[in-house]
Amino acid sequence: MFKSRHSLPGTPPATLTPLAPGEASPPAIRWMEYDADTLTEHNVRSVAELPDVNGGTGKVHWIEFNGLGDLDALKALGEKYGLHPLTLEDILHAGQRPKVEPYDNHLFIVALMVYRDDDRMVGEQISMILGKGFLLSIQEDPESDVLEPIRQRIRSGKGWIRKMGPDYLTYALLDAIIDHCFPILECLGEALEDLETEMLQRPSAKCVATLHDHRRTLIQLRRAIWPERDLLNSLLHDESPFIAAPTRVFLRDCYDHTVRIMDLIESYRELSAGLLELYLSAVSMRTNEIMRVLTVISAFFIPLTFIVGVYGMNFDNKDGEHWLNMPELHTRYGYVCLWIFMLAVVVAMYLFFRRKKWL
Lowest-pLDDT range of 93-97, 172-176, 182-186: 93-97
3-state secondary structure of 116: strand
Q: Report the alpha-carbon distance of residue 340 to residue 177 in Å, rounded.
A: 78
Residue 101 is classified by DSSP as: E
Confidence of residue 54 (pLDDT cuts 50, 70, 90): low
Lowest-pLDDT range of 90-94, 102-106, 184-188: 90-94
Which of 38-42, 292-296, 306-310 ranks highest by mean pLDDT? 38-42
Over its C-alpha atoms, the chain yields an Rg (Å, rounded) of 37
Please name the helix (run of DSSP H) or strand (run of DSSP E) that holds residue 88, with its range, or none: helix 85-92
Residue 27 is classified by DSSP as: P
Residue 62's closest CA among 184, 164, 156, 146? 164
Q: Report the alpha-carbon distance of residue 56 to residue 127 in Å, rounded.
A: 24
Residue 57 is classified by DSSP as: S
Q: Report the alpha-carbon distance of residue 201 to residue 32 in Å, rounded.
A: 55
Q: In degrees rounded to 5, what are phi and psi of residue 188?
A: -65, -40
Looking at residue 320, its pLDDT comes to 54
| For residue 2, pLDDT beyond 60 | no
Lowest-pLDDT range of 127-136, 147-156, 211-220, 283-292: 283-292
Residue 115's closest CA among 224, 191, 228? 224
Residue 52's closest CA among 76, 78, 81, 32? 81
Q: Report the alpha-carbon distance of residue 224 to residue 174 in Å, rounded.
A: 12
pLDDT higher at 157 or 16: 157
How, if at all, do strands 107-116 and 121-131 pair? antiparallel
| For residue 176, pLDDT beyond 90 | yes
Kindly report the average pLDDT of the chain as a whole number: 84
Looking at residue 55, its pLDDT comes to 57
Give the pLDDT confidence of 323-352 residue by residue, as tens digits: 566 666 677 777 788 888 888 988 888 888
Q: Report the alpha-carbon distance of residue 313 to residue 197 in Å, rounded.
A: 55
Q: Look up the pTM and report it.
A: 0.78
Residue 328 is classified by DSSP as: G
How, if at all, do strands 60-66 and 99-102 pair? unpaired
| For residue 280, pLDDT beyond 70 | yes
Instruction: Please give the domain boundaries of the chain with CATH numbers for all domains.
Output: 28-282 (3.30.460.20), 290-355 (no CATH)
Answer for the pair 26, 70: CB distance below 8 angstroms, yes or no. Answer: yes
Biggest alpha carbon–alpha carbon distance for the chain? 129
3-state secondary structure of 274: helix
Q: Report the alpha-carbon distance of residue 298 to residue 121 in Å, rounded.
A: 52
- Which residues does residue 294 pair with via DSSP β-bridges, in sequence order? none
